[in-house]
Amino acid sequence: MGLLVCALLLAAACSTVDYADEREVRLEFSTDALSFDTVFSTMGTATRVLTVYNRSERDVELGSVTLLHGRASRFRLNVDGDTSLVARQVELLAGDSLLVFVQACIDPADVQSPFVRTDSIVFSNGQFLRLEAWGRDAVYHRRLPTDTAWFTEVDCAAFRHDRPHVFLDPAAVLDGNTLTLLPGDELYFADGALLVVDSNATLVARGTAAQPVLFSSLRREEWYRQLPGQWQTLWFYNCSTGNVIDHAVVENGTGGLRCYPGAALTVSNTVVRHMSDAGIIGQHATIRGSNLLVYDCYSSMALLAGGDYSFSRCTLADYWNYVGRNRDTASVIVSNYYPVEGGYVGGDMQRADFEDCIIWGNRSKGEVATGALEGFGFNCRFVHSLVRGGEWSEDPQFADPARHDYRLREGSPAAGIGYNFDN
């Protein structure tokens, strides 16, 4: 009997694995993040595989592998065959790997669902891996690994109007094409994405008061609704002419509408808001604007290196208030040049007219800055326009700028001018 007990004890001792402290082992993953994208246009579930490597010289036992959001997650895990909510005591030998199967369960017909669902796989050694699933039934535009251009081309002829469009990468309307957007069309942009309207290409976006065309950021959660800088810009490239934007909302980007030399844009009945740069940028371009509301931007408007501009019935209101970046730039900048390394780029400012406009904000030094360089023409006028720091500088009495309500209170000195909220 004594020999049998000793044998059993010896066998138990031999089966004990000397695991490394899991906090001292750095795991490696087959990818930096696990993404699920266009599959959700046609089906509600999809599975991806993650390989987890232990490239150290020590065996390790992970106390747990689970999902950050637990039972509320839209993802499910299978860790080397373990499909429980929390996989425990997961052994990973030195130089070995394990497979984690991740399933995303999204209803693509749920229009209330955010475009992107996120979660993380959490390993008990302190590491995690991000999961993201593009969850709504939308048309997704993204560059393929085989693409040689830095952008993806927008197929104007096949552009669908029955679904939102999500731009995951820079996109372009190429030379000779016209992209036509209809009432209610929605275009959403991921971080770093933008829409370029190429030379001799055109964008025509015609919404209505009830169904404006929307250009916005991809993130739809409440915290992101007023956050600037989430995507880039609508960029009208050199000699892009005939562009029209009517009844639209452009929000949450770096710069709203950017027009390069020779570009021509007519924009009306439109709101541009929450931009980390200027809401409207013209560089020796032609812009006609009427009934515009531009607010909560680092600057509402920058008209540089000359051009031909006219704006009427516009409210340009900047009360920028973001931690880490105080605004010391005027709401409206008009100049016949802009500096570049080693010099400047200049051009005649043929016209920069503001009529029946309100230009106001929280910059005590005034909300208009002009720059006129000798050798280039400069023509800038403010006609019946209330301008902080200008000839008519009187508080317009906005209803509640802190809540982005720029309607005028009863008795406002600016009654009858600025953006018409009843358009």
Mean pLDDT by runs of 10 across the 423 residues of the chain is: 48 63 92 72 73 93 94 92 91 93 80 76 94 80 83 95 91 96 96 95 98 91 86 96 98 96 97 96 97 96 97 95 78 94 92 98 93 95 97 96 95 97 86
Phi, psi of 252 (to 5 degrees): 70, 20
Q: Which long-range contacts (CB under 8 A, 24 or more apart) does 176-180 make?
A: 176/200, 176/201, 177/201, 177/202, 178/202, 178/203, 178/204, 178/242, 179/154, 179/203, 179/204, 180/156, 180/204, 180/205, 180/206
Phi, psi of 400 (to 5 degrees): -165, 85
Distances (CA, A) of 319 to 243, 271, 275, 327, 403: 29, 16, 12, 9, 10
Question: Alpha-carbon distance 255 to 273, whole Å?
Answer: 10
Pairing of the two strands 128-134 and 116-123: antiparallel
Question: Alpha-carbon distance 85 to 91, whole Å?
Answer: 17
Pairing of the two strands 343-346 and 337-340: antiparallel
Question: Alpha-carbon distance 306 to 338, whole Å?
Answer: 9
Q: Where are the beta strands (DSSP E) in 106-194?
A: 116-123, 128-134, 139-141, 152-153, 165-167, 171-173, 178-181, 186-189
Cβ atoms of 66 and 129 within 8 Å: the answer is: no
Cβ atoms of 160 and 183 within 8 Å: the answer is: no
pLDDT at 39: 47
What is the amino acid identity at position 43?
Answer: M
pLDDT at 19: 87
pLDDT at 225: 86
pLDDT at 413: 97
- State the sign of the Cα–Cα–Cα–Cα dihedral 385, 403, 229, 216: negative
Question: Alpha-carbon distance 155 to 139, whole Å?
Answer: 12
DSSP designation for 160:
-
Output the six-digit token pair for 336.
């016949």
Distances (CA, A) of 116 to 64, 113, 225, 394: 26, 8, 14, 45
| 208 SS3 class | coil
Question: Alpha-carbon distance 114 to 218, whole Å?
Answer: 9
Output the six-digit token pair for 224.
């992101």
Question: Alpha-carbon distance 93 to 295, whole Å?
Answer: 58
Question: Alpha-carbon distance 371 to 82, whole Å?
Answer: 68
Cβ atoms of 378 and 349 within 8 Å: the answer is: yes
| 131 SS3 class | strand
Cβ atoms of 239 and 275 within 8 Å: the answer is: no
Phi, psi of 237 (to 5 degrees): -80, 175
Question: Alpha-carbon distance 242 to 263, whole Å?
Answer: 9
Could you tell me the pTM of the whole model? 0.77
pLDDT at 323: 61
What is the amino acid identity at position 183?
Answer: P
Question: Alpha-carbon distance 306 to 285, whole Å?
Answer: 8
| 85 SS3 class | coil
Q: Which long-range contacts (CB under 8 A, 24 or more apart) does 126-129 make?
A: 126/23, 127/26, 127/27, 128/68, 129/29, 129/31, 129/32, 129/33, 129/34, 129/50
